[in-house]
């Protein structure tokens, strides 16, 4: 564990908590893509199956349990509890265009052809693109609430911080995982346009609005 | 380093 890894995890944790607070306090999931949230739930379920086979640390287990619970909880809030506020007219990204290619890719490019390893690889590939329905929704409506943009900023920063962690680990531990690194870079690149808008607009107190 | 069965990252 290094400082970048810890900062990345805390940023990921903050993103999820910001999203839950937004939904809970406003009793609404307006502006949030349910499809992205379903993809994140699939990501965590397929990645953290090793909770049952492999104990790493109390920290690791606690974070995995939290991510699993919160992602499933978010899907529950969006599709059941606050269903009426879910903006499904604007949430139209076809997730099969993400699920099928990432599933195929994980069957071809993996470290080992075993069920656990393929599911882990699938979750890494899927995570890298899981935010696309959300970004698509923001571009479709042309704006995002401030709290939604804080959520996106924290979520995007997390993988960026992991990249610094991987650079650190490569230099100081001689460890690298090419699948995680490439997917993590793709994931971070997808946020670049958003980061630019966040820094130039939201941090200056303006609402995130896309140029017409 | 190829397979990493002990995946400590989240």
Tracing tokens 């610094």 back to the chain, one arrives at: A164
pLDDT at A211 over 90: no
* Amino acid B4: pLDDT: 53
Residue B2 pLDDT grade (very low, low, confident, very high; cuts 50, 70, 90): very low
Decide if A111 and B10 are in contact by the 8 Å CB cutoff. no
* Amino acid A207: pLDDT: 87
Collapsing DSSP states into helix, strand and coil, what is residue A176? Answer: coil
Q: Of A72, A75, A63, A68, which is closest to residue A13 (Cα–Cα)?
A: A63
User: Which residue from A minimizes the CA distance to B5?
Assistant: A117
Task: Give Cα separations from B5 to A114, A115, A116, A120, A151 (angstroms).
Answer: 11, 12, 9, 10, 31
Torsion sign, CA atoms A143, A145, A151, A153: positive
Tracing tokens 């805390």 back to the chain, one arrives at: A10
Give tens-digit pLDDT for A21-58. Answer: 999 999 999 999 999 999 999 999 999 999 999 899 99
User: Which residue from B minimizes the CA distance to A123?
Assistant: B10
Decide if A112 and B2 are in contact by the 8 Å CB cutoff. yes
* Amino acid B3: pLDDT: 47
Rounded to whole angstroms, the Cα distance separating A24 from A34 reads: 15
**Token representation of residue A84:** 């009426």
Residue B7 pLDDT grade (very low, low, confident, very high; cuts 50, 70, 90): confident
* Amino acid A136: pLDDT: 97
Chain B: closest CA distance from residue A185 (Å): 16
Q: Of A127, A176, A134, which is closest to residue A19 (Cα–Cα)?
A: A134
Give tens-digit pLDDT for A81-110. Answer: 999 999 999 999 999 999 999 999 999 999
Q: What is the mean pLDDT of residues A161-178?
A: 95
User: Which residue from A minimizes the CA distance to B3?
Assistant: A111
**Average pLDDT for chain A:** 96
In this structure, the number of other CB atoms found within 10 A of the CB of residue A56 comes to: 15
Residue B6 pLDDT grade (very low, low, confident, very high; cuts 50, 70, 90): low
Pick B7's closest partner by Cβ from A5, A67, A120.
A120
ipTM attached to this prediction: 0.80
In this structure, the number of other CB atoms found within 10 A of the CB of residue A84 comes to: 8
* Amino acid A121: pLDDT: 97
> Would you say A20 and A153 are in contact if contact means Cβ atoms under 8 Å apart?
no
* Amino acid A6: pLDDT: 98
pLDDT at B5 over 80: no
Tracing tokens 């944790």 back to the chain, one arrives at: A13
């Amino acid at each position: 564990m290094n400082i970048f890894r810890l900062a990345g995890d805390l940023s990921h944790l903050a993103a999820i908590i910001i999203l839950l607070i937004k939904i809970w306090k406003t009793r609404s999931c307006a502006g949030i893509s349910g499809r992205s949230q379903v993809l994140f739930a699939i990501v965590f379920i397929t990645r953290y199956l090793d909770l049952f086979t492999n104990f790493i640390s109390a920290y690791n287990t606690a974070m995995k349990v939290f991510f699993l619970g919160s992602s499933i909880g978010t899907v529950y809030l969006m599709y059941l509890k606050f269903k009426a506020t879910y903006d499904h007219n604007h949430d139209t990204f076809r997730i099969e265009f993400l699920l099928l290619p990432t599933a195929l890719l994980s069957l071809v490019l993996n470290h080992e052809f075993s069920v656990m390893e393929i599911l882990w690889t699938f979750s890494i590939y899927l995570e890298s693109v899981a935010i696309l329905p959300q970004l698509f929704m923001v571009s479709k409506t042309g704006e995002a609430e401030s709290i939604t943009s804080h959520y996106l900023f924290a979520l995007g920063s997390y993988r960026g911080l992991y990249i610094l962690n991987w650079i650190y680990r490569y230099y100081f531990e001689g460890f690298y995982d090419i699948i995680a690194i490439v997917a993590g870079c793709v994931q971070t690149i997808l946020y670049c346009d958003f980061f630019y808008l966040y820094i130039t607009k939201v941090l200056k107190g303006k609402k995130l609005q896309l140029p017409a | 380093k190829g397979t990493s069965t002990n995946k400590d990252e989240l």
